[in-house]
Chains A and B, each alone.
Chain A
Amino acid sequence: MIEVRKLVKSFGLKPVLRGLELLVEPGEFLALLGPNGAGKTTLLRILSSLARPNAGLVRIAGHTLPGEAAAVRGKLGVVSHLPLLYGDLTAEENLRFYSRMYDLEGVERRVAEALELVGLRQRRRDLVREFSRGMQQRLAIGRAMLHDPEVLLFDEPYTGLDQEAAQMLDGLLRQVAGRGRTVVMTSHDLLRSASLATRLDILSRGVIARSLDPGSMQPGELAALYQQVTHG
């Protein structure tokens, strides 16, 4: 579903990704772990066609970037630590606006389904700027799911969430992944990532340094291995 070969990205003279290789199978839930500056967000921005790599190949759902960027974007849902929502529009208006940007048919039905999915139907007429951080993040997931994308990219979606909101987001992510979607999530939270993902990749110094099966590891073992890979 996602194929990345020899990906290189630098900002000025500073290399961020150094020949990164990545393969994600359809239906897989991949958690990308790594310290700050490892290149997680840069990788996700390249996958979502928001940034252009210096070299390398990126293919998503059979389309190559950057040549077929619009086709790729149609198959992607992206959630970042920012909600990508307009504070002066209501929840419903935000979703309606994005539905039009995606040129979707049955806008009202899709908006209602997305609001139902994230449990915000009762608050659909409230302005987004009045929402709590957790509610904004839930609505952001609704926005990302509007066009029923094949691939979902989550860039540190738990940033700034309290315990209750984070648990609610866990449930939503499980629900979304349960629909057979391919998910790539970046995170700093080892335990949460291990409980959600089917594969953990540790990104360090611009390459995938280690790939792990979370089912076969104890939490302590995972933390020790993470330390070893990122500081070793």
Chain B
Amino acid sequence: MAERAARRRRRLGGYLRAIGAVIWKDLAAELRSRELLGAMLVFALLVVLIFNFALELDVRSRATITSGVLWVTFTFAGTLGLNRSMAVEKDRGCLDGLLLAPVDRSAIYFGKTAANLIFLLIVAGVVVPLYSLLYNTNLLVPGLLAVIVLGCLGYIVVGTLLASMAVQARTRDILLPILLFPVVLPVLVAAIKATNGFLQGLEMADIWPWLNLLIVYDVVFTAAAFMLFDFVVEE
């Protein structure tokens, strides 16, 4: 009995260490190349700037479109990052190298998801203050930051799974957004509505349904990805 518990603890330790190793590897490689984060940041800043010049808005209409502009920026920059993150694994056959490790393959998925989430949150951390400056809108609201974390999590949870699937195809760059956008629609709608709610100072009772949807989406799709990842990556 005690031996079985010790074995289970050892296996869990190995699982967590594998997740940590994948995160460390992605961050270390990115720190050196700055390819993924650089592209995501430049792209996100361009989107914000384009919206800034394209939409000459008064204060009232600005408040209503902020959430849309923010989430369009995160979504597009996120897709760029997801594509790049999986392409790196495919280029030198590294995905096979990961899959050959004697660890439950969901550890690879969670490691990649965590690294992708870190990259997207870094982008959000740059975009939000910049947007506040450009549009003269205060976005540093604690509730709004929670929405950003929950929304980005939902987006990356599904995005990493679908990017693992799309990377096997020749047309992976085109395939990912086509697969991803319909599936993340609920998370985007909920995130935009909740963001709007916080920016317009609505009652929490009006915002909670959207936050609940975000939480449920994150939990359901994390569980689904945990169960499906092995089948998605195996030939």
The residues of A with any CB-CB pair to B shorter than 8 Å are: 45, 48-52, 70-74, 76, 78, 80, 82-89, 93, 97-98, 100-103, 127, 143
Contact = CB atoms under 8 A, between A and B. Distances in A.
A101 B21 contact: yes
B17 A100 contact: yes
A97 B108 CA distance: 13
Given A48-B100, A70-B103, A100-B17, 13 more contacts: A49-B99, A49-B100, A50-B96, A73-B100, A83-B92, A83-B93, A84-B97, A97-B21, A97-B24, A98-B97, A100-B18, A100-B24, A101-B103
A74 B93 contact: no
Nearest to B16: A103
B113 to A, nearest CB: 16
Contacts of B98: 101
Contacts of A70: 102-104
A169 B99 CA distance: 25
B92 A82 contact: yes
B235 A45 contact: yes
B227 interface: no
Contacts of A72: 102
B101 interface: yes
Contact of B101 (A83, A87, A98): A98
Contacts of B104: 70
B28 interface: yes
B96 A84 contact: yes
Interface of B: 13-14, 17-18, 20-22, 24-25, 28-30, 32-33, 88, 91-94, 96-104, 234-235
A16 B234 CA distance: 17
A44 B103 CA distance: 20
B102 A74 contact: yes
Secondary structure class of chain B's binding surface, majority of residues: helix
A72 to B, nearest CB: 8
A48 B97 CA distance: 11
A93 B21 CA distance: 11
20 contacts: A49-B99, A50-B96, A50-B234, A51-B234, A51-B235, A52-B235, A70-B103, A70-B104, A73-B101, A82-B92, A82-B93, A86-B25, A87-B91, A88-B33, A89-B28, A97-B24, A101-B18, A101-B21, A102-B103, A103-B14
B94 A84 contact: yes
A99 to B, nearest CB: 9
B102 A52 contact: no
A104 to B, nearest CB: 10
In the A-B complex, the 3 residue pairs with the closest CB atoms: A82-B93, A84-B97, A74-B102
Given A52-B235, A88-B33, A89-B28, A82 B101 contact: no
A185 to B, nearest CB: 17
Nearest to A83: B92
B102 A85 contact: no
Contacts of A51: 234-235
A143 B97 contact: yes
A100 B92 contact: no
B29 A86 contact: yes
B92 A76 contact: no
Given A74-B102, A127-B32, A87 B92 contact: yes
